Amino acid sequence: MKCKKSNLELIDYLFGEMSEMERKAFLSHLEQCDNCQNASKILRETQTLLLAGQEETAPEINLSVPSLAHSRPAPKLQRLRSPILGFAVGAFATFLLFSMLNFRLTFSENNVTLEVSTANKNRTTTQEQTYITVDDLSAWREQTLYQVNKLILESESRKRQESQLMLSGLAKGFQEQRRLDLHLVGEGLENFQNSNLQEIQRTRMALNQIMQINASEHYDNSYNKQK
Amino acid sequence: MNDHELVNAFLCKKAGAFEALAKRWKQSIYNFAFRYVRDRQLAAEVCQTTLVRLYEKGHSIRDPEQFSAWLFQIVLNLCRDELKRLKRRRAKLVDMDDMSMNSLERLPLVDVDSNGHPESQMITNNYNDLLNRALSTLNEEQRAVIILKSYQGLKFREIAEILKISENTAKSRMYYGLSALKKTFDKWNISKERLGI
C-alpha cells in the first residue's frame, strides 16, 4: 500500500530543509513506513552517486579589470570627458549641419564646384544662375533636337537617293532587256517574212508550171480533135 | 572575508573586490555551466560572459543576499541560450558525423558493451563524463534543479527564485529528477558497490 506522505516531505527531509519538529515527526513515520524507507534509500543513493563525480577545474580566465572594462563597449560620447572638447565637437557638428543645409553645387565646363556657407545670402545669384542654366539647357536641347532632325532628314534623303538609284538601275536593266527582246522579235519576224515570201514564190512557180502543163494538154487535146 | 562582506565590498566599488568575488565564484559558475551544457568550451565561454555581466551590471544588485540567485540566473540564461544555439546548429548540420559534435542528447548516450551496459572500464575511468551523460537524459527543468541543489547547495527557496517557480515545484522536480536518474543508473548497472563508494 502506498504511503500518503508527500514526496516533497521526503525531499525536505533528505536535504535538511525541515524544522526540528517536522524532522522528528517524519523520522518517527519513517521508522514505521517501508515505502518511505525504500524511497529514502533510493534517493539518498542516487544523491551519493551524483556527488561521486569529480568537479572539473575551471580554465584560466583573465579577471583583470582593465581587460573586462575594455570588453565593454562604452558609448562614444562618454569618451569625451573634457567639456571643452565636447563643446568644440558640438559646435563643429552644428556648423557642419547648417553648412550642409545651405550648400551650393555648381557645374561649369569640366568643373564641379561645391560652396558651403552658414547663411543663404547667395540665394538670388544661385537662382539667376539656375535660370541661365535652364536657358542654356533648353538651347542645348533645341540645338540637339535640330541636329537630330537634320541627321534624320539626311539619313532619309540618303535612303531615298539610294532607292532611286536602285530603281533607275532596275529600269535600265528592264529597258535593255526589252530592247534585246524586241530586236530578237524583229529578227524573228523578218526571217518569218522571208521564208513566207520564198514559199509564196515557190508556190507561184509551181502553179505556173501546173498551168503550163494544163495549157499544153488542152492544146494537144484540141489539136487531136481537129485532126 | 565571507561572501556577504565580499558582495558588499563589490557593491561599494572597493578596489579588488570584483577580482576576489570572481575568483571565488568562478569555479561554481563553470561547474554549473559544464554540468548543464556538457561542453568545456561552451562552459568556459558562459563563465567568461557571466563574469563580464557581473562587472558591468553587478552594481545594480540591491540586496547582497540575492547575489547567488542573481548570478545563477545569468548563468542559467546563458546556458539556455548556448543550448538553443547548439541545437539550431545541429539541426543545420544533420548530416555531419554526430560523434564529432560535442553536444547534448546525442545517441547513444553511452558506449555500451554486448550486454547493453556501459563498459566497466569507462565507469571507473570516466565516471564524471558518464555522470554528465546521465544528467543530460533529464529534461532541462529537472537538470537545472538537480545541479543547483546537489552541486551548488542552494536552498529550494533560492532555486525557486532563480527558476521563477514555486518551492514545491522545485522540490517536485528534484524528486522526479532523482527518480529518473536512479532508473538510468540501474539501466547502466552503476551502483555504489561498483564504484567502491
The answer for residues whose C-beta is within 8 angstroms of residue B130's C-beta and 6 or more apart is B110, B118, B122, B123, B188, B190
Phi-psi region of B38 (alpha: psi -120 to 50; beta: other; left: phi over 0): left
Instruction: Tell me which chain A residue has its CA closest to the CA of residue B51.
Output: A63
pLDDT tens-digit readout, A131-167: 557 777 788 888 888 999 999 999 999 999 999 999 9
Average pLDDT over residues A45-59: 85
Contact B182 A46 (CB under 8 A): yes
- Cα A84 from chain centroid? 53
For B150, the closest of A7, A12, A47 (CB atoms) is A47
Instruction: State the Cα–Cα distance between residues A172 and B109, nearest whole angstrom.
Output: 102
Among A50, A55, A57, A78, most B C-beta atoms within 10 A, so best to mutate, is A50
Instruction: State the Cα–Cα distance between residues B135 and B144, nearest whole angstrom.
Output: 10
What type of residue is A75? P
**Strand pairing class (A104-108; A111-115):** antiparallel
Contacts B128 to A, Cβ<8 Å = 53-54, 56
pLDDT tens-digit readout, A170-207: 999 999 999 999 999 999 999 999 999 999 999 999 99
Contact A7 B128 (CB under 8 A): no
Average per-residue pLDDT in chain A?
80
Closest CA to A31 of A20, A18, A40, A22: A40
Q: Given this model, what pLDDT does residue B71 score?
A: 92
For B190, the closest of A8, A49, A57 (CB atoms) is A49
For B181, the closest of A46, A54, A71 (CB atoms) is A46
For A7, the closest of B51, B52, B175 (CB atoms) is B175
The whole-angstrom distance between B163's CA and the closest CA on chain A is 18
How far apart are the two ends of chain B, measured CA to CA in Å?
Answer: 35
- Cα B179 from chain centroid? 18
B182 touches B96 (CB < 8 A): no
Contact A8 B171 (CB under 8 A): yes
Among B40, B175, B183, most A C-beta atoms within 10 A, so best to mutate, is B175
Q: Does the pLDDT of residue A71 top 90, yes or no?
A: no
> Which chain B residues have any C-beta within 8 angstroms of a chain A C-beta?
18-19, 22-23, 26-27, 29-31, 34, 40, 44, 47-48, 51-52, 55-56, 127-128, 131-132, 146, 149-151, 155-156, 168, 171-172, 174-175, 178-179, 181-182, 185, 190-192, 195, 197
Give residue A75's pLDDT band: very low, low, confident or very high (50, 70, 90).
very low
How far apart are the two ends of chain A, measured CA to CA in Å?
Answer: 187
pLDDT lower than 70: segments of chain B: 93-125
Query: What b/e readout covers B159-173, taking b as 16+ CB neighbours within 10 angstroms?
Result: bbbbbebebebbbbb
Average pLDDT over residues A55-76: 58
Closest CA to B136 of B177, B179, B176: B177
Taking the whole predicted model, whether its pTM rises above 0.90 is answered as no
- Record the cell numbers describing residue B185, joined without a space: 543508473
Percent of chain A past pLDDT 70, that is, above it, reads 74
Q: Given this model, what pLDDT does residue B97 score?
A: 45
A20 vs B: CB within 8 A: no
Q: Given this model, what pLDDT does residue B167 score?
A: 94
Q: Give B86 or A103, the one with higher predicted confidence.
A: B86
Q: Which sign, positive or negative, has the C-alpha torsion B109, B128, B46, B57?
A: positive
- Record the cell numbers describing residue B55, joined without a space: 562587472
Q: Given this model, what pLDDT does residue B94 score?
A: 57
Contacts B192 to A, Cβ<8 Å = 45, 48-49
**For A107, which DSSP code?**
E
A7 vs B: CB within 8 A: yes
Query: What b/e readout covers A181-210, taking b as 16+ CB neighbours within 10 angstroms?
Result: eeeeeeeeeeeeeeeeeeeeeeeeeeeeee
B151 touches B31 (CB < 8 A): yes
- Record the cell numbers describing residue A85, joined without a space: 572638447
Q: Given this model, what pLDDT does residue A2 score?
A: 64
Question: What is residue B115's three-state secondary structure?
Answer: coil
- The domains located in chain B, with CATH, are 1-105 (1.10.1740.10), 107-197 (1.10.10.10)
A226 vs B: CB within 8 A: no
- What is the Cβ-side half-sphere exposure of residue A51, based on CA atoms within 13 angstroms? 13
Q: Given this model, what pLDDT does residue B101 score?
A: 43
Strands (E) in B7-138, as ranges, are none
Contact B44 A61 (CB under 8 A): yes
